[in-house]
Amino acid sequence: AQSVSQHNHHVILSEAASLELGCNYSYGGTVNLFWYVQYPGQHLQLLLKYFSGDPLVKGIKGFEAEFIKSKFSFNLRKPSVQWSDTAEYFCAVSGGSTLGRLYFGRGTQLTVWP
């Protein structure tokens, strides 16, 4: 069965600290991987995605993620967080041709103190 695990449910950091959020997935086949962000009161927005090619992908707002196939992981990183990064972050996976059929992790709430 397809599943996505996000190990950190709540992360609290000070501004300028580095961030890494873990994501592991279980999926039988070729995967497409995503990180979405949900700011308070707003809709889910795509941060970055991996379909194929370079396993290190860069997204918006200075975020990046690395796909490690052997570890079934797609961790999200940012070298220096800002207060405005406070949000909930969701890792998601899809496969096949129905890219909108997403399996989400339960999310990680990031709180950044100024």
Partner 1 sequence: DTGVSQDPRHKITKRGQNVTFRCDPISEHNRLYWYRQTLGQGPEFLTYFQNEAQLEKSRLLSDRFSAERPKGSFSTLEIQRTEQGDSAMYLCASSPETGISQVFFGSGTQLSVL
Closest CB to partner 1 among 85 and 108?
108
**Of 12-20, 60-68, 73-81, 102-110, which segment contacts partner 1 by CB under 8 A?**
102-110
Q: Which of 34, 82, 87, 110 binds partner 1 (CB under 8 A)?
A: 34
Q: Which of 12, 16, 46, 60 binds partner 1 (CB under 8 A)?
A: 46
> Judged by CB, which is closer to partner 1: 17, or 88?
88
E-strand ranges in 10-86 read 10-14, 19-21, 24-26, 31-38, 45-50, 56-58, 64-68, 73-78
Residue 59 binds to partner 1 (criterion: CB under 8 A): no
Is residue 49 a contact point for partner 1 (CB under 8 A)? yes
Q: How far lies 44's CA from each of 18, 25, 107, 111, 113, in Å?
A: 23, 20, 12, 17, 22
DSSP 73: E
